[in-house]
Structure 1
Amino acid sequence: MKESWKRVIVLTSIVAISVVVLSSIYNITEPEIAKQKEIKFEEMLQSIFPLATDYSGKEGIYEIYSDNKRVGYALMANGKGYGGDIEILVGVNEDKTIKGIKILKQTETPGLGAKITERWFTDQFSGKPIGDIRLKKDDGKIDAITGATISSSAAVDTVYEGYMEKIKMMEEK
């Protein structure tokens, strides 16, 4: 057998073994990864709705219950920031005001745009009707992050647009 064919067979064998090993590792760890995501999601829900005892839903719209009484909704909102995708969990009271928000995913610039995760920024949304969810420069009630106007706008727009989209979906059902 030629030397070049031996190399091809060896390399093909190594690749095949690697694929099998990586696939096996993925299949073994996938349930644990899903479980950890669910735990993180529930922790975020609990931080917005501390008295929540249960939730149900799909398509990014969750009804939140406390002692079998609906107390609000949690909406998944997705948008684009300066550094990439932003994913925000938006808590909504029964009166349709914002209960609170939690940034689930962001890739904004550390030290600037990443400040959208800081409590002083996220707390500004609490208790406000959706009409107030705009930056102050746009006649809203939300202070922008100095030096990170694009990230601030992206977070505000993600909350607003996600809210409007999900509320519309709920009304259509």
Structure 2
Amino acid sequence: MNRANSLITLALLATTGVGVTCVVQRSNAPHIAAEQRQLESRKLLDVLSVDAYDNQPLEQPLALTDIGLSHSLLLGGYRATKAGQTVAVLLRSQTEGYAGRIELLIAIDANGRLLGVKTLEQTETPALGGHIGEWPNAWLQAFTGKSSNQPTAAGWALKKDQGQFDQIAGATITSRAAINTIHDALRYFDEHRTTLLGSAP
């Protein structure tokens, strides 16, 4: 009888433990999901400094038109604001590299200058074009501060093509694709500046 009582007590404790665990997990689930979203958002938005904006850009996607650009395709756009003023527009852009698609997140300030570029997806050759996927990325940082017309259109090319930019070692096609995509995004910003900057939500 003692053994039967012990087994019943053990079963009741186990059931209670499982029940309490389920309740705690359910009550914490929204908080955990919010934390996960914030972490993913921060990872995506680390082209911007944390104190540069105070909204949730990814929760306010922009409606983009004319998304087929000269060398790339716009997949989405977001507006970062601080104290009600637009501080940056982020354009998610896709192009073809040497081994497949390259997806870049391109951050542009309200004056049309590049704040930063991050590779979101790529399938380029490891140790060659694959370097474009590294973060932080010294090669991509070289574009910071540039605008659609600084350098000139001719300057938006590799040095080997009489332009102003070095290439990723051993990755000419990857480098050209990235340069063209960044320039596309800057030109798109200039052409759609009013819509992209908009009014603060």
Shift of 1:80: 0.3
SS of structure 2 residue aligned to 1:79: strand
5+ residue gaps, structure 1, are 1-34
2:141 pairs with 91, 99, 123, which one? 123
Q: CA RMSD in A?
A: 2.8
The question of whether the paired residues in 2 share the 8 Å contact of 1:48 and 1:101 is answered with no
Residue 53 of structure 2: aligned partner: 52
* Aligned: 1:159 with 2:160: no
Counterparts in 2 of 1:94 and 1:165: CA distance versus 1, 3 Å: closer
AA aligned opposite 2:106: V
SS of structure 2 residue aligned to 1:130: coil
The question of whether the paired residues in 1 share the 8 Å contact of 2:129 and 2:175 is answered with yes
Q: Distance in 2 between the 1:140 and 1:49 partners?
A: 30
**Shift >6 Å, 4+ stretches:** 35-38
The question of whether the paired residues in 1 share the 8 Å contact of 2:54 and 2:82 is answered with yes
Number of residue-to-residue matches in the alignment: 141
Residue 8 of structure 2: aligned partner: none
Counterparts in 2 of 1:120 and 1:46: CA distance versus 1, 3 Å: closer
Shift of 1:138: 3.4
Shift of 1:151: 0.8
AA aligned opposite 1:53: D
1:145 pairs with 168, 171, 176, which one? 168
Counterparts in 2 of 1:52 and 1:172: CA distance versus 1, 3 Å: closer
AA aligned opposite 1:64: A
AA aligned opposite 2:43: E
5+ residue gaps, structure 2, are 1-34, 65-75, 197-201
Q: Distance in 2 between the 1:113 and 1:75 partners?
A: 22
Residue 64 of structure 1: aligned partner: 80
TM-score of the aligned structures, taking structure 2 as reference length: 0.60
Counterparts in 2 of 1:82 and 1:126: CA distance versus 1, 3 Å: same
The question of whether the paired residues in 1 share the 8 Å contact of 2:112 and 2:186 is answered with no
* Bigger share in helix: 1
The question of whether the paired residues in 2 share the 8 Å contact of 1:78 and 1:162 is answered with no
> Which range is displaced more, 60-69 or 97-106?
60-69
1:101 pairs with 114, 117, 127, which one? 117
